[in-house]
Structure 1
Amino acid sequence: MTAVVFGTLPFPNQGGDQIVSKAVSTAIAALFKRTGKIEAMVRAEPVAKLLQGSVDGFDFIGNGMLMYNGLRIDGMELYVEAVSIDFSAIFKGQVKLRQPTQATMRVVLTEEDLTTSFNTPFVVEKLQRLQYEGQALNFKKTEMLVNEDKSLTLRSQIQLGKTGETVNLDMTSEIEVLDRRKIQFVNVTYKGDEKAKNLGKSLIDHVNNLLDLDKFALDGTQLKVDRVRIRKKELIFYGIAKIDHFPQRKK
């Protein structure tokens, strides 16, 4: 019976799990401006349960992902728990959840991803909300380095608004997660003269206030990070994504 039903659908010679997998992959890819390889693998046993919208779960693996705000993700893995979907929406190119679910996640950011992200208009605009001694700040050539001792180095050339003076910042820190949702730079060491150190401390405080995952999560999702691992010029985040509804790209 299942073969007869799926054989009448507009995807000939494909099983129901393949149809849903393709739809999920396409829907996730649409959330990003550009992607490398993206693959979603739906698990349903028996496959006939898909007709009722019941899925045992699905695994998603993607790499080379560029978000519309300019942030880059080198790799992402999501392992979604059992979920109920609206099967009829699949043929409209949509993924609709009938109830919330959650997924374990692994997200990889390279040194290059971090540097690129810190130079996007999306992040620069937030950084420039900071003022120093009443002066606007103009950030240039911001660079993030992942060091062999598992510390991070943040460098930037900052031009002070009124005077045009350039202050070179060079700071090295460790990273930790606070309350499973805030990424924090801690145990920071500052290089340079007194002005560079004072401006660096103000910047770190400002950045720590910005790095709340709730501000960066996709629509309909809530992220919780349990562990951060640093290795081979990469930051790897492990945690949970709570999904109330399938994300849609914000216009």
Structure 2
Amino acid sequence: MVQALFGSTPFQTQGGDRIVSKAVGAAIAALFKRSEKVEANVRAEPVAKLLQGSVDGFDFIGQGMLMYNGLRIAVMELYLEAVSIDFGAIFAGQVKLRQPTQATMRVVLTEEDLTSSFNTPFIIDKLQRLQYQGQPLKFSDTEMRITPEKKLHLQSQVRVGDSNQPISLNFTSQVDIEERRKIQFTDVSYEGDSEAVSLGKALIDHVNNLLDLDKFALDGTLLRIDRLRIQNESLIFYGAAQINRFPQMKKR
């Protein structure tokens, strides 16, 4: 794998930071099913510090990332300060931390990302765990968009139990962050008849319990959100990541 990544040029004749940057970037990209663009930059001065596993800083920028569970991320940025890594593991295509580290992060989700993610089997399965009036639900044609008022609008067709007549779910809400880890739909405005409103309220309660970052974080990481902005028809999250160990490559 090392040869495939770096060619046959010896480490000593290349920039060691570039070699490690490529390896770390490839390891992170492997955590995703697909990435349109991945850039990683490891900083070490002098470069010889890398041989002891000392890194002054590390930046990662990924675009158009698709997770193995089907969730989409338009942009992911991670910025780590000084960190200690197992240098020998780099040449096995792995990233191993000698001690936990902290990173600041920026994550962007577009309307298309949100709509695509809410229609994945991963999310649909979680939504359908909600029972309404003692009956299971079936969701289809879910669409999410961001309004000019910087609110989130959701519409979906929901069948209750064995009914062939779907209920048109339609509501608009603010998006807030609680306890730095819970994404919450608040100040909800429902549309439709009483049945649609009742179902919508039940769904909001379910989704607000579901959208906890601790349930979605990659293995070995802890994510926290400090600020949420809605801009250019996108949700932009700013926060921090505690990385106790580098997540393992997803098995195909």
Deviation, 1:13, is 3.9
Counterpart in the other structure of 1:230: 230
Counterpart in the other structure of 2:3: none
Q: Distance in 1 between matches of 2:206 and 2:35?
A: 31
Task: Output one character per residue of 1:157-211: Cα deviation in whole Å (capped at 9) or x when no partner.
Answer: 0011133231001000001000000000000000000000000000000000000
Where do residues 1-251 of structure 1 align in structure 2 (5 Å cutoff)?
10-11=10-11, 13-251=13-251
Higher mean C-alpha deviation, range 36-45 or range 8-17: 8-17
Q: Distance in 2 between matches of 1:166 and 1:11?
A: 62
**RMSD over aligned Cα atoms:** 1.3
3-state DSSP of counterpart to 1:199: helix
Give ranges in structure 1 of 5+ residues lacking alignment: 1-7
Moved over 3 A (4+): 8-13
TM-score of the superposition, structure 2-length normalised? Answer: 0.94
Do 2:27 and 2:249's aligned partners in 1 also have CA atoms closer than 8 Å?
no
Amino acid at match of 2:122: F
Q: Distance in 2 between matches of 1:39 and 1:110?
A: 20
Q: Distance in 2 between matches of 1:36 and 1:162?
A: 41
Amino acid at match of 1:68: Y
Q: Give the % identical residues.
A: 70
Task: Output one character per residue of 1:45-72: Cα deviation in whole Å (capped at 9) or x when no partner.
Answer: 1111111100011000110000000000
Do 1:148 and 1:232's aligned partners in 2 also have CA atoms closer than 8 Å?
no
Q: Distance in 2 between matches of 1:10 and 1:95?
A: 20
Do 2:30 and 2:250's aligned partners in 1 also have CA atoms closer than 8 Å?
no
Amino acid at match of 1:32: F
3-state DSSP of counterpart to 2:75: strand
Do 1:24 and 1:95's aligned partners in 2 also have CA atoms closer than 8 Å?
yes
Task: Output one character per residue of 1:74-114: Cα deviation in whole Å (capped at 9) or x when no partner.
Answer: 00110011100010111111111000001000000000000
3-state DSSP of counterpart to 1:36: strand
Deviation, 1:9, is 7.0
Q: Distance in 2 between matches of 1:95 and 1:14?
A: 20
